[in-house]
Copies of this chain bind each other. A is one copy, B any other.
Amino acid sequence: METSGSGDIVRTLHLLWDMGPRPSRGPKPGLSLDRIVEAAVRVADAEGLEAVSMRRLSTELGTGTMSLYRYVPGKGELLDLMLDRVQRTDDDPSAHGGDWRSALETLGRESLALYQRHPWLLKANQSRPVLGPSAIDGMEKVISRIRPMGLSDPELISAIIMIDSYVIGAARTQVHAQEAERRTGLTDTEFWAAQAPVLEKIMASGRYPVMASLSEDTFGPEFDHFEFGLQRILDGLATLVDSRGASAGDSGRRPGA
Contact = CB atoms under 8 A, between A and B. Distances in A.
A13 to B, nearest CB: 5
Interface string A139-167: 11001100100001111111101101111
Interface stretch (A55-63, A85-93, A193-201): A193-201
A245 to B, nearest CB: 15
Q: How many copies does the complex hold?
A: 2
Contacts of A156: 218
Nearest to A143: B210
Contacts of A202: 17, 136
Interface residues of A, number: 87
A123 B122 contact: no
Contacts of A144: 210
Interface stretch (A25-33, A65-73, A95-103, A127-135): A127-135
A176 interface: yes
Contact of A176 (B50, B128, B180, B256): B128
A149 to B, nearest CB: 12
A208 B223 CA distance: 40
B257 A211 contact: no
A257 to B, nearest CB: 5
Contacts of A220: 154
A128 B195 CA distance: 13
Contacts of A165: 165-170, 172, 229
A225 interface: yes
Nearest to A119: B127
B169 A161 contact: yes
A77 to B, nearest CB: 14
Interface string A109-140: 00000000000001100111101000010011
A216 to B, nearest CB: 9
8 contacts: A154-B222, A155-B228, A165-B229, A222-B255, A228-B256, A231-B236, A234-B236, A239-B239
